[in-house]
């Protein structure tokens, strides 16, 4: 429509932009050819023609000039017109121009809001045209690919043959399944590519939306769940098999054997107790994990919690001639937490210190306030932990010496529980150990700020 108008403008210009004298000459020429009385040049009639045409001609010239300036994206003032027709025309052109400007503004705003919507999506998203070129990429895609891939061929952006094949099929209108592939920039990330063909061309001529979903956490969770179930079943199966063996013996060959009964029953009770403990620990771990994302809100006097746990473990320590030395300065600020969970942390750390410490040595429990945190550390003088085992200590069922831990009634879940409780409290667990000299487990907890 605009082009038409410009063309008409040019035509008007061509015909009418001539100076008045030329128009008179033209009028005279026409008269000469058409009517045959040109020999009598009639200056009076030429003047009359000029007089009639000068205002329309003026308006036409002004209009052409006005349209030209509008076309070159200027903001010209509306020129004064001398004829009613000119005034009507110039008003119509100005209105048309304003309408087109408004439409252009709306288009730009719409494009910007589409762009912002795509950028706000957490998943990387690529818009692909029918020539397999990337015609748009949201911020998440640019971050993942570490560049803006717009204008590049899809094959140079994602060098994954399965994804490229699926994109080609999707563009051809063939339904395709999601394609899983490893993180484009390496590492252990896993992504699922999803394809959505657009029935109408989208922004930039896009015909396909390729979205990438980060499956890393989901796959890791799957793996951990499978490992966890395998470990838990294994931990339960061993004592269960032993119980089954004892029951079969007592029900069969040792049916009337009082001595065997007396020998086996305490072992059976111990085994069953260990199984019950394992189940309790598993339940407590799953409960802690369940609300790990909600930080506790109570103000807890950590020194009082520690003192109560230490008191309760004195008999266990005494059984190995060990002492529990508590060093808590007065006036420690309260920490933000949940008292029973913090007691469990201390219980598990002290239980380990006594279990893996050396007979006749002291276990030191020290509290201190530091940088908006209260730290509690448990130091034993046991055999220590090999450096390579340190990063794995808080994994469920991890034990440096599984046989020894089992013999001591351990399930291998104590430190995993500690880690999850500390995480829930937005605290930190630090482990320092030297083989042959002992270990120090320190927990930092945020001070209660009201």
Whole-angstrom distance, CA of residue 139 vs CA of residue 116: 9
Q: Which is nearer to ligand ATP, 194 or 396 (CB)?
A: 396
Q: Site map for Mg ion, 136-175, x if CB under 5 A? A: ----------------------------------------
Closest approach of ligand ATP to the CB of residue 438, in Å: 7
* Binding region for ligand ATP (CB under 6 A) out of 83-91, 169-177, 285-293, 409-417: 409-417
Closest CB to ligand ATP among residues 142, 284: 284
Do β-strands 179-182 and 438-446 pair in parallel, antiparallel, or remain unpaired?
unpaired
The partner in contact with residue 167, picked from Mg ion, ligand ATP, none with C-beta cut-offs of 5 to 8 angstroms by kind, is none
Q: Which of residues 406-435 bind Mg ion (CB under 5 A)?
A: 414
- Shortest-Cβ-distance residue relative to ligand ATP: 414
* Spatial separation of the C-alpha atoms in residues 5 and 404, rounded to whole Å: 94
Q: Which of residues 94-123 bind ligand ATP (CB under 6 A)?
A: none
Among 83-91, 240-248, 317-325, 398-406, the segment contacting ligand ATP (CB under 6 A) = 398-406
In the bound state with ligand ATP, the residue whose beta carbon lies nearer, of 162 and 269, is 269
User: In this chain, which of 353, 364, 365, 447 binds ligand ATP, going by CB under 6 A?
Assistant: 353
- What's the half-sphere exposure (Cβ side, CA atoms, 13 Å) at 43? 0
Residue number, 62 or 235, with CB nearest to ligand ATP = 235
What lies within 8 Å, CB to CB, of 390 at 6+ separation is 431, 433
> Residue from 60, 63, 374, 393 that binds ligand ATP (CB under 6 A)?
393
- Contacting ligand ATP (CB under 6 A), which of 385, 421, 443, 445? 385
From residue 270 to residue 309, the character string flagging contacts with ligand ATP as x (rule: CB under 6 A) and all else as - is -----------x----------------------------
From the list Mg ion, ligand ATP, none, which binds 401 (C-beta under 5 to 8 Å, kind-based)?
ligand ATP
Number of residues interacting with ligand ATP: please give it, by CB under 6 A. 22
Nearer to Mg ion, 334 or 414 (CB): 414
Contact between 439 and ligand ATP by CB under 6 A: the answer reads yes
* Binding partner selected for residue 317 from Mg ion, ligand ATP, none, CB under the kind-specific 5 to 8 Å limit: none
Contact positions with Mg ion (CB under 5 A) in 326-365: 352
C-alpha torsion angle, residues 305, 322, 434, 310 (rounded to 10): 0
Minimum distance, C-beta of residue 296 to ligand ATP, in the bound complex (Å): 22
- Of 28-36, 143-151, 319-327, 410-418, the window that binds ligand ATP (rule: CB under 6 A) is 410-418
Which residue's structure tokens are 């002492």?
Answer: 323
Site map 207..246 versus Mg ion, x via CB under 5 A: ----------------------------------------
352 in contact with ligand ATP (CB under 6 A): yes
Q: Which residues contact 102 (CB under 8 A, 6 or more apart)?
A: none
**Is 412 a binder of ligand ATP (CB under 6 A)?**
yes
SS3 for the chain is: CHHHHHHHHHHHHHHHCCCHHHHHHHHHHHHHHHHCCCCCCCHHHHHHHHHHHHHHHHHHHHHHHHHHHHHCCCCCCCCCCCCHHHHHHHHHHHHHHHHHHHHHHHHHHHHHHHHHHHHHCCCCEEEECCCCEEEEECHHHHHHHCCCCCCCEHHHHCCCHHHHHHHHHHHCCCCCCCEEEECCCCCCCEEEEEEEECCCCCHHHCCEEEEEEECHHHHHHHHHHHHHHHHHHHHHHHHHHHHHHHHHHHHCCCCCCHHHHHHHHHHHHHHHHHHHHHHHHHHHHHHHHHCCCCCCCEEECHHHHHHHHHHHHHHHHHCCCCEEEEECCCCCCCEEECHHHHHHHHHHHHHHHHHHCCCCCEEEEEEEEECCEEEEEEEECCCCCCHHHHHHCCCCCCCCCHHHHHHCCCCCCHHHHHHHHHHHCCCEEEEEEECCCEEEEEEEEEECCC
Q: How far is the CB of 353 from ligand ATP (least distance, A)?
A: 5
What x-and-dash track marks residues 55-74 binding ligand ATP by CB under 6 A?
Answer: --------------------
- Name the site residues for Mg ion (rule: CB under 5 A): 352, 414
- Give contact residues for ligand ATP (rule: CB under 6 A): 281, 348, 352-353, 356, 380, 382, 385, 393, 398-401, 405, 410-416, 439
């Amino acid at each position: 429509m605009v082009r038409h108008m410009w063309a008409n403008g040019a035509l008007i210009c061509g015909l009418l932009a001539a100076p008045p004298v030329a128009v008179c000459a033209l009028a005279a020429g026409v008269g000469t050819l058409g009517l045959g009385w040109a020999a009598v040049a009639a200056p009076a009639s030429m003047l009359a023609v000029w007089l009639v045409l000068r205002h329309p001609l003026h308006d036409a010239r002004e209009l052409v000039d006005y349209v030209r300036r509008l076309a070159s994206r200027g903001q010209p003032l509306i020129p004064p017109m001398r004829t009613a027709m000119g005034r009507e025309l110039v008003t119509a052109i100005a209105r048309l121009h304003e309408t087109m400007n408004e439409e252009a503004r709306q288009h730009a705003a719409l494009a910007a809001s589409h762009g912002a919507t795509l950028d706000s999506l957490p998943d990387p998203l690529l818009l692909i045209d029918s020539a397999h070129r990337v015609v748009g990429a949201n911020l998440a895609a640019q971050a993942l690919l570490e560049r803006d891939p717009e204008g590049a061929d899809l094959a140079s952006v994602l060098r994954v043959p399965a994804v490229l094949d699926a994109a080609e099929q999707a563009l051809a209108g063939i339904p395709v399944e999601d394609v899983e592939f490893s993180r484009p920039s390496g590492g252990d990330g896993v992504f699922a590519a999803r394809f959505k063909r657009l029935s109408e061309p989208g922004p930039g001529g896009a015909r396909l939306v390729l979205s990438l979903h980060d499956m890393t956490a989901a796959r890791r969770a799957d793996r951990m769940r499978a490992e966890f179930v395998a470990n838990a079943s294994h931990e339960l199966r061993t004592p269960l098999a032993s119980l089954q063996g004892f029951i079969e013996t007592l029900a069969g060959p040792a049916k009337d054997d009082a001595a065997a009964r007396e020998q086996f029953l305490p072992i059976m009770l111990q085994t069953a107790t260990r199984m019950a403990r394992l189940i309790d620990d598993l339940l407590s771990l799953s409960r802690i994990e369940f609300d790990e994302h909600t930080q506790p809100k109570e103000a807890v006097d950590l020194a009082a919690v520690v003192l109560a746990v230490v008191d309760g473990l004195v008999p266990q320590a005494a059984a190995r001639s060990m002492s529990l030395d508590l060093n808590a300065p007065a006036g420690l600020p309260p920490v933000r937490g949940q008292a029973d969970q913090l007691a469990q942390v201390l219980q598990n750390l002290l239980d380990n210190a006594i279990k893996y410490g050396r007979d006749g040595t002291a276990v030191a429990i020290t509290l201190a306030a530091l940088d908006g945190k209260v730290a509690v550390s448990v130091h034993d003088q046991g055999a220590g932990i090999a450096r390579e085992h340190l990063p794995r200590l808080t994994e469920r069922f991890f034990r440096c010496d599984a046989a020894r831990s089992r013999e001591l009634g351990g399930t291998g879940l104590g430190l995993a529980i500690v880690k999850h409780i500390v995480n829930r409290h937005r605290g930190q667990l630090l482990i320092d150990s030297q083989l042959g000299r002992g270990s120090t487990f320190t927990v930092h907890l945020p001070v209660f700020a009201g």
